[in-house]
Structure 1
Amino acid sequence: MSDLDAQIHDAAQRLAKGQLVAFPTETVYGLGADASNPEAVAAIFAAKGRPSNHPVIVHVAPQADLSYWVSDIPKEAQQLMDAFWPGPLTLILPRSEQALAAVSGGQDTIGIRCPSHPVAQAMLKAFEQIKGPGAGVAAPSANRFGQVSPTQAQHVRDEFPDVDSSELYVLSGGSSDVGIESTIVDVSRLAQGVAPVVLRPGHITATQIAEVLQRDLGHQQAENTPRVSGSLKAHYAPRTPLFLLSAEQISVLPAGNVVAVSFEGLAPVGVHNYQAPPTPTHYASQLYAMLRSLDQQGYKAIYVQRPPQTPDWDAVNDRLGRAAAAFELDTDIT
């Protein structure tokens, strides 16, 4: 047995005992616990400082028996599973009676996904062998609530420096390739005539989803829309104040101990410059690592040039917008 195999086995054993395990996925690192164990799920919320009404996502192994978690899998949901699982897509489905209400924030829906990261898959399969069919791992991102998500094992350790390894085991699996959280699609209300709706943009785009389903998607509405992970207005925020600016505003920033993240290297003399990744995929994969790195430099502020307002940038714009929403923009900055 290799060292990694031993670590995966250890992680699965710890999960079965009700302990917390941070593990890699292709999106971000998750803070995992046995989704059928009330005390273990409660430990996730306590460790993150997460509100109890904010749902978490249940991660399952490939070909897992979903009947423990969901009461119905509509045709459209199966089509999306066939097209994108394993992968960075979470489906919101009707929650079964036996699934813990705590994982869904008390709602009658539940978020389910099957990650594609090989270490995550191996851990979930090992956990399933211990727990049996229908095993699932509840896992939000492995960071304090509202802060920048981790995409490396060291990010998790940095986020919980005072937590002993006996309380939180960190399973390392390299850097997360996608780098931002999964796309979330609500397919829980089809029986009520509500079309599938993207509730959180991600690597898998609304266009791709519509193409698979061969139908138009619905529009998100506050009324009766399920609450989902990462949907708060202010989220994913660094500790350093972050503001979104136009190219023109970036180019006339006053000198000071601040950094400008721009596509064209627009920072004027006296302002530190950080070159923004050029494509939405590259930007997403580097976003959280970039914010964490800039957060450690002692800058007074991070100014980010707004990316293009086109559909392929939706996920990046969503994360940056929520990060910036944690801070009030000084209208006199330029």
Structure 2
Amino acid sequence: MNTQLLNEKDIQQAAAILRDGGLVGIPTETVYGLGANGLNPQAVARIFQAKGRPQDNPLILHIPSIDHLDRYCKGIPLTAYRLAERFWPGPLTMILARRDVVPDVVTAGLDTVGMRCPAHALCRAILRDADVPVAAPSGNTSGRPSPTSAAHMWEDMDGKIDAIVDGGPCAVGVESTIVDLSCDSPRLLRPGGVTLEQLEAVLGDVEVDPAVTRLMGAGEKPRAPGMKYRHYAPKAPVTVVAGEPSKSAGYILDHAAPEDGIICFDEFVPLFTKRHEMRPVMNLGPSADKAEQARHIFDALRSFDHTAVKAIWAQCPDAAGIGLAIANRLNKAAGFHIIEV
């Protein structure tokens, strides 16, 4: 298959491919998504084939505005409209009861569906022109770090899908927050660009699903993407070191082999390169700037696939704010191999 590279001038072409059952890489503010017509089961099935994605991993439907929500969901609670008013368009996915029009292949057979209205203007323009909900997981080979640029997506999907729309680098850098509103009380299923603290400011108490901080068991069924399987992982194994930044940097310096890859906060790059000048080091961003860290995390993880490193060590921020999402992605990349110092 010849994968086309499109841009902001090709909105109608991208929308037509989606309507006709094709696969398109679409930019969002979080990561690039691998989109298909969410009402076309055959098109959605091609997403799983292109990614090598497990069939029990549900997908998110993307819509251009809140007035599309009741086309695909029923029994929508007031809390959903409160969250949409505050955070849509934006990096928030809500789990709601689905209408019958949504195919089982999108929801992995669940009676709920994840809904999101992205903030990326080009993405919304494509969604409006297509006039179908677009099912779109992250546009990477399943298990690999998510793509935050068209070039990342091209690495994984060239020759597998119809087109990729280049909308520039992603502004947030980690996937959307997923909150389940179909249960008795709101539950955070995946941390992301909308923080737990921001959700609590609107909803009050929000439960945090155990899968945010541990691996799901083999018999557990995920209610949202990114809950069950090892995700975001480069080829080399990752060890996450959590704790006060100077302590975590010191631990990594004492335990990493000279040829190991390092992901660290900006201020500690000289610490690692001074002792081993040829050591591959990727800076994550300043230790105090979690928004910058979120924009760099997947690029840092991906970069080591172009090197010969046999192991990767990564500093990790604390769980406040978007730090919870960064820690979640690092911990899943490491298979929850975490060292606390």
Verify same fold: TM over 0.5.
Answer: yes
Match of 2:202 in 1: 212
Residue 256 (structure 2) pairs with residue 247 (structure 1): no
Match of 1:201 in 2: 191
Match of 2:150 in 1: 153
In terms of mean alpha carbon deviation, does 253-262 or 292-301 score higher?
Answer: 253-262
1:43-122 superposed matches below 5 A: 43-122=46-125
In terms of mean alpha carbon deviation, does 281-290 or 242-251 score higher?
Answer: 242-251
Distance between the aligned counterparts of 1:225 and 1:51, measured in 2?
12
Distance between the aligned counterparts of 2:223 and 2:82, measured in 1?
23
Match of 1:289 in 2: 299
Distance between the aligned counterparts of 2:256 and 2:148, measured in 1?
32
Distance between the aligned counterparts of 2:319 and 2:86, measured in 1?
27
- Structure 2 spans left out of the alignment, 5+ residues: 1-5, 212-218, 242-247
Computed over aligned residues only, the root mean square deviation of the Cα atoms, in angstroms, reads 2.2
Q: 1:277 aligns with which of 271, 285, 288?
A: 285
Alpha-carbon distance, 1:225 to partner:
8.2
1:170-185 superposed matches below 5 A: 170-185=164-179
* Helix, strand or coil at the partner of 2:250: helix
In terms of mean alpha carbon deviation, does 245-254 or 275-284 score higher?
Answer: 245-254
Distance between the aligned counterparts of 1:48 and 1:41, measured in 2?
11
Alpha-carbon distance, 1:295 to partner:
2.2
Distance between the aligned counterparts of 2:174 and 2:256, measured in 1?
31
- State the Cα deviation string for residues 204-257 of structure 1 (Å, max 9, x = none): 1111111122x2112426799861111125211011222113333212135432
Distance between the aligned counterparts of 1:314 and 1:144, measured in 2?
24
Residue 310 (structure 2) pairs with residue 300 (structure 1): yes
- State the Cα deviation string for residues 176-228 of structure 1 (Å, max 9, x = none): 11011000000012xxxx21111100111111111122x21124267998611
In terms of mean alpha carbon deviation, does 316-325 or 252-261 score higher?
Answer: 252-261
Contact 2:263/2:312 (<8 A) preserved:
yes
Distance between the aligned counterparts of 2:92 and 2:256, measured in 1?
42
Q: 1:170 to 1:274 in 2, by over 3 A?
A: closer
Distance between the aligned counterparts of 1:197 and 1:12, measured in 2?
33
Contact 1:247/1:306 (<8 A) preserved:
no
* Helix, strand or coil at the partner of 2:281: strand
Alpha-carbon distance, 1:146 to partner:
1.1
Alpha-carbon distance, 1:90 to partner:
0.2
Q: 1:256 to 1:5 in 2, by over 3 A?
A: closer
Matched length: 313
Distance between the aligned counterparts of 2:281 and 2:220, measured in 1?
44
Match of 2:244 in 1: none
* Helix, strand or coil at the partner of 1:260: strand
Match of 1:232 in 2: 228
Amino acid at match of 2:331: G
Match of 1:325 in 2: 335
- State the Cα deviation string for residues 257-296 of structure 1 (Å, max 9, x = none): 2222223234262344333312111000111112212321
Amino acid at match of 2:275: V
* Helix, strand or coil at the partner of 1:179: coil
Q: 1:6 to 1:272 in 2, by over 3 A?
A: closer
Alpha-carbon distance, 1:102 to partner:
1.1
- State the Cα deviation string for residues 69-128 of structure 1 (Å, max 9, x = none): 111210001100010000000000011122111111110110000001011011001111
